[in-house]
Amino acid sequence: MGDTPHRSAHAGTGGTRVATSHEWPAGASARVAEPSGIPGIPDNGLGGGGGLPRARAFGAERAFRGLTLAAGTTVLVVIAAIAIFLIAKAVPALRVNTESFWTFEGWFPNDDPPKFGIGALAFGTVLSSLLALLMAVPVALGIALYLSHYAPRRLGNALGFLIDLLAAVPSVVFGLWGRDYFAQPVADLSAWLNKYFGWIPIFGEGPYGSSILLGSVVLAIMVLPIVTSLSREVFRQTPTANEEAALALGATRWEMVRTAVLPYGRPGVIAAVMLGLGRALGETIALALTLGSTYAISFNILQSGGNSIAANIANRFAEANDTGRGALIASGLVLFAITLMVNITARAIIYRRREFTESAA
């Protein structure tokens, strides 16, 4: 109703009938307009019998398009600015590095001559994240399936809320908890693992304490809520028709989940896992508090030690000089490259089955 007078105001050619419609209250303008032959649209006074209203030179449509374009451009500008900043800072530090950036195990960028290598850090980052996913994803999928397909609705909603609450806990809290309370149980577990499964190389000798295992368990707990709540949403969206189709074929509940729910949710679950991996790779403070901050590549996940790119940046930034900061920024670039590769891989996996997933939508 309200936009009727507005419209005629814009038409603005000042026909007598337009003027009349202005004098009427907005609610009545439609009735005035009836002589134009189209109920509800007032004759705007353009041209003779029933000319179409002219397109508005400037309206909400254009303004909105402009706003969205500006927002989109901002993203590109910010990304470009960050990339330029990172590369500009990293290159000088990499130039003065006297050891191989890729293979040297150590981080002495403040020394003269500076020596630092990303190998151990990148290795620690990937290893701790993968271990965290390995522990978190099966549990998360189990919880998600329980919440979406097994639990009574009320219990499901309450538990789902709790899980989301877990996601809201700041990572520094997880880090402190992991370091102060969780380290001892994990050390005991490590000793036990080494005693009985020591023949597997990853369960090596101690000393136990701030190990990759501790870091990845804490990471797993942090990743759990993201993967859980996203997968739960995906599983919930399974069309009832498909679930019923499976049940009507004589499927048990688990068979129904396997035939209808899991395949349908697959791309969504992959996306959820990748988001979880993204969080794990970039996690800083929790790992800075729980890893041993060493610079060696070792598959022994029980021994004190381990490090990650982000944790190393947090630990070393305060003491870094110019070259040191450049070196840390270079390590950040590597982390960025790793996350990018993870994302591309995830997309490739989803894309490979597009023929099936698209028709599912």
* Residues near other proteins, by CB under 8 A: 153, 239, 241-242, 244-252, 255, 259-260, 263-264, 266, 353, 355-357, 359-360
Question: Which residue number, 135 or 145, has a Cβ lying nearer to other proteins?
Answer: 145
- Identify which of residues 265 and 306 has a Cβ nearer to other proteins in the complex: 265
Length of the chain: 361
Minimum CB distance to other proteins, residue 266 (Å): 7
* Residue 107: strand pairing partners: 116
Q: Would you say 183 and 209 are in contact if contact means Cβ atoms under 8 Å apart?
A: yes
* Nearest approach, Cβ of residue 248 and other proteins (Å): 4
Q: How far apart are CA 143 and CA 286, in angstroms?
A: 24
Which distant-in-sequence residues (6+ apart) come within 8 Å of 205 by Cβ? 194, 198, 300, 302, 303
Residue environment code for 37-68, b if the CB has 16+ CB neighbours within 10 A, otherwise e:
eeeeebbbbeeeeeeebeeeeeeeeeeeeeee
Q: Which is nearer to other proteins, 98 or 252 (CB)?
A: 252
Check residue 283 and give left, alpha or beta (phi > 0: left; psi -120 to 50: alpha). beta
112 versus 355: smaller Cβ distance to other proteins: 355
Cα–chain-centroid distance for residue 231?
Answer: 13
**Minimum Å distance from CB 139 to other proteins?**
24
Q: 240: how many CB neighbours lie within 10 A of its CB?
A: 8
Quote the least distance from Cβ 259 to other proteins, whole Å: 6
C-alpha torsion sign, points 279, 280, 284, 287: positive
> Shortest distance, CB of residue 196 to other proteins, whole angstroms?
36
Toward other proteins, which CB reaches closer, 71 or 361?
A: 361
d(CA 328, CA 319): 11
- Evaluated on CA atoms 112, 119, 347, 167, the torsion sign reads negative
Q: Which is nearer to other proteins, 126 or 151 (CB)?
A: 151
Around Cβ 99, how many Cβ atoms within 10 Å?
Answer: 15
Q: How far is the CB of 264 from other proteins (least distance, A)?
A: 6
Cβ 346 to other proteins, closest distance in Å?
A: 18
Distance CA 27, CA 35 (A): 17
The least distance separating other proteins from the CB of residue 253, rounded to whole angstroms, comes to: 10
Q: Which is nearer to other proteins, 299 or 351 (CB)?
A: 351
How far apart are the C-alpha atoms of 294 and 310, rounded to whole Å? 14
Closer to other proteins by CB, 115 or 149: give it: 149
